[in-house]
Structures are given as C-alpha cells and as structure tokens.
C-alpha cells in the first residue's frame, strides 16, 4: 500500500508540472500576439525579503534607467514583502505573488502567468542571483523583446539551465563567491554605469521600536528567515 501511495503522489506531481508547462506555453503564445508596450518594464523578484533589501540600490539604478513617467515599472514580488516594495516608491505597480500557491496551485499559477503576459512588456528583468525555474518562466511568458538576467551556472540542473538561458537576450556574468551586494552592484551598472557599491537604506520604510534611543546607530539581523524553523 505505501508503494501505491508513493506512485499516486508521483503521478499527481507530474500531472501538475505538465499542466503548468502547458499553461506557460499557451500564455506565451497568446501574449506574443499582443502588441508590445514600449513603456512597460517588468522586474521579477520571487526570492526572500533579505535578498530584496540587499537589492534595493540596484532597483534604484533600474529606476534611473527607466524614469517615470516615460516608463512604467511593474514588480512581480513575493507576497511576503510586496507591501515593503510599495513603500519604496520605486515601482509603478506591484504584482504580489504567493510563492507557494504559484508553485502548487495550477489555477493560481495560470492567473499569474496571464497577468504577466498582459503587461505586454518590452523589457523584462530578473535580477535574482540564484535563478530558479519559477522566475525564469515569468521571464519567458512575458514575451518581452529584451530579457535581462544574471548568468547563474550552479542553481539549477544543467538541462534546466540550458533551456532557461535561451529565454534571455542578455545574461550578465558575475564572479562566483562574491558577496551579494557586490553582485548586485555589477548588475546595477548594466543600467547605470555610475552605480556604486553601498549598503541598503531602509530609512522611512520601517517603524523604529519605542525602546530604540533616538538617533542611535543600530542594525537588524534576521538569520535564516527563509527557514521553516523560523516560522
């Protein structure tokens, strides 16, 4: 009986994955028939809040390259920090993506794919240092004529990486083993050559607890926030 249950679970998992691949192809096919919007820029970040905060200076470089009102930047962001992303004022629209539903719920997955395709983006950017198939698929379904990402040789299997790399028109190489802030700075210079390495600033975006003395210097550490043990 346990063997049969394992086979049924595997079958269910394969059916879900194949349905999502089909939905991706259908939405891309439909989206490519929509006229591109030259002012529409899509940015995708589905990773953790810590990665998002470290990336904020790079986001500012992207905003300088695509200023408002000439361009509209839409950020597809993990729902955990979508509200924080709104507070930055760097994006014109936020699409909050519940990552677990996006992975496991086929109907929700297709709804997100359709929203991305309907943006008719001309430029799609995936700045995640550790790319995965979920972000890569949003790049693919966007139908953007210019798709920019980081060259990531280690986060996926070779087969998946070779397939996903073809969905990008430009992959930016960064040295392996450098700090994430340094990698973000290299990526930022693709959009603003004068972008410099700097620590993230959250002033005005978060409330300071009453017990923190005024004008005191402090920092916040969230070790392993992505780990289920922290929830």
Give the whole-angstrom CA distance, residue 95 versus residue 146.
20
Give the whole-angstrom CA distance, residue 131 versus residue 161.
9
CA 125 to chain centre: 8
Residue ranges of domains in the chain, CATH in brackets? 18-192 (3.40.50.2000)
Residue 228 has pLDDT above 80, yes or no: no
Q: Is 189 within 8 Å of 144 (Cβ atoms)?
A: no
Residue 74 DSSP symbol: E
Give the whole-angstrom CA distance, residue 182 versus residue 200.
12
Residue 73 DSSP symbol: E
Give the whole-angstrom CA distance, residue 26 versus residue 168.
19
Residue 192 has pLDDT above 90, yes or no: yes
Tell me the per-residue pLDDT of 83-107, one tens digit each, with 9 for 90 and over: 999 999 999 999 999 999 999 999 9
CA 104 to chain centre: 18
Strands 146-150 and 72-78, by their bridges, are unpaired
Give the whole-angstrom CA distance, residue 175 versus residue 153.
11
Give the whole-angstrom CA distance, residue 61 versus residue 97.
23
Q: How many CB atoms lie within 10 A of CB 152?
A: 21
What are the phi and psi torsion angles at 219 (to 5°)? Answer: -145, 160
Tell me the per-residue pLDDT of 104-151, one tens digit each, with 9 for 90 and over: 999 999 999 999 999 999 999 999 988 988 999 999 999 999 999 999
Looking at residue 115, its pLDDT comes to: 96
Tell me the per-residue pLDDT of 22-39, one tens digit each, with 9 for 90 and over: 888 889 999 889 999 999
How large is the average pLDDT for residues 62-76?
A: 97
Residue for token pair 């259908």: 26
How large is the average pLDDT for residues 154-168?
A: 86
Looking at residue 149, its pLDDT comes to: 95
Give the whole-angstrom CA distance, residue 115 versus residue 138.
10
Looking at residue 136, its pLDDT comes to: 94
Give the whole-angstrom CA distance, residue 164 versus residue 184.
21
């Amino acid at each position: 009986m346990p063997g049969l249950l394992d086979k049924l679970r595997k079958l269910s998992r394969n059916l879900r994955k194949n349905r999502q691949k089909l939905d991706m192809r259908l939405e891309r096919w439909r989206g490519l028939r929509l006229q591109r919007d030259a002012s529409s820029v899509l940015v995708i970040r589905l990773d953790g809040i810590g990665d998002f905060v470290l990336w904020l200076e790079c986001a500012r470089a992207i905003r300088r390259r695509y200023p408002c009102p000439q361009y509209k930047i839409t950020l597809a962001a993990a729902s955990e920090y979508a509200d924080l992303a709104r507070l930055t004022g760097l994006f014109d629209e936020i699409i909050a993506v519940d990552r677990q539903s996006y992975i496991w719920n086929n109907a929700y997955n297709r709804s997100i794919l359709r929203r991305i395709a309907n943006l008719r983006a001309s430029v799609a950017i995936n700045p995640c240092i550790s790319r995965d198939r979920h972000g890569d698929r949003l790049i693919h379904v966007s139908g953007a004529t210019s798709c920019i990402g980081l060259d990531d040789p280690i986060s996926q299997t070779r087969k998946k990486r070779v397939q996903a790399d073809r969905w990008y028109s430009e992959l930016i190489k960064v040295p392996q083993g450098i700090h994430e802030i340094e990698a973000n700075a290299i990526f930022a210079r693709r959009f603003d050559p004068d972008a410099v390495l700097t620590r993230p600033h959250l002033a005005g975006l978060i409330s300071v607890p009453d017990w923190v003395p005024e004008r005191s210097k402090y920092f916040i550490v969230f070790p392993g926030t992505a780990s289920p043990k922290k929830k």
